[in-house]
Amino acid sequence: MNEDIKKHYQQLFAQHGDSPDAVQYSDRITQFKRFEVLSQVAHKLNSVVDIGCGLGHFYEYLKEGQPDVKYLGLDFVDEFIEASKTKYADNERTSFKQFDLTKDVIPAGYDYVVLSGVFNNKSSNNKEFMLNGINSMFNACTKGIAFNAMSTYVDFQADNLYYTDPLEIFDYCKRNLSRKVTLRHDYLVKENSIPFEYCIYVYKCLSNLHQP
């Protein structure tokens, strides 16, 4: 993973501690709105891997409505993983591991694999990183994946963020991964704005699977 991006998050964590700001969210409202959309990949997430888990805030969101969910958080920032392990030390339903999406294999055996924000920071190989990451997620899941990304359907693009054409990513998933793909470009994370990001669900095509 990009060392500059890792240092960026280490600095945010040192400055902000266990908060949405430490994982590059503007506030908890927008953070939880993204979690709401990701979690709608299924009616119930029995088990889930959270790629780029940060400080385990997605589990914080999930446990209110799904207290029995089995959760594995993976992140390449050591400080995030250690803080999350300490925070959830008494919770048998959670586990956290240091993980590099460019090198490590996502643990199998979980129904869903989700990812929020990991594809957003601009680097020298964004497209390759994104497509390889989507492939790895889909190979590891039992039922499906959900991920979000910044959309090119916007009137402004920040220089430090990576934007993709949602139709292109949908087409890639449809042609290479599964016949069951959903593109969400209808939600707002901020009031009085436009949908500047999107979320995609990709499902394993199993005869006994009825999702969502």
pLDDT tens-place string over residues 35-70: 999 999 999 999 999 999 999 999 999 999 999 999
Q: What is the CA radius of gyration of the chain?
A: 16
Mean pLDDT for 179-185 is 97
Q: Is residue 62 part of a domain?
A: yes
Q: Is residue 212 part of a domain?
A: no
Give the pLDDT confidence score for residue 194 in this predicted structure: 81
pLDDT of 122 > 60? The answer is: yes
pLDDT of 212 > 50? The answer is: no
Give the pLDDT confidence score for residue 24 in this predicted structure: 86
Indicate the number of domains in the chain.
Answer: 1
pLDDT of 22 > 80? The answer is: yes
Structural domain for 137, as ranges: 3-203
Q: Are 59 and 88 in contact (CB under 8 A)?
A: yes
Mean pLDDT for 84-109 is 96
Per-residue confidence band for 191, with pLDDT thresholds at 50, 70 and 90: confident
Residue 15 burial (C-beta neighbours within 10 Å; 0-12, 13-18, 19+): exposed
Q: CATH number for the domain including 47?
A: 3.40.50.150
Q: Is residue 209 part of a domain?
A: no
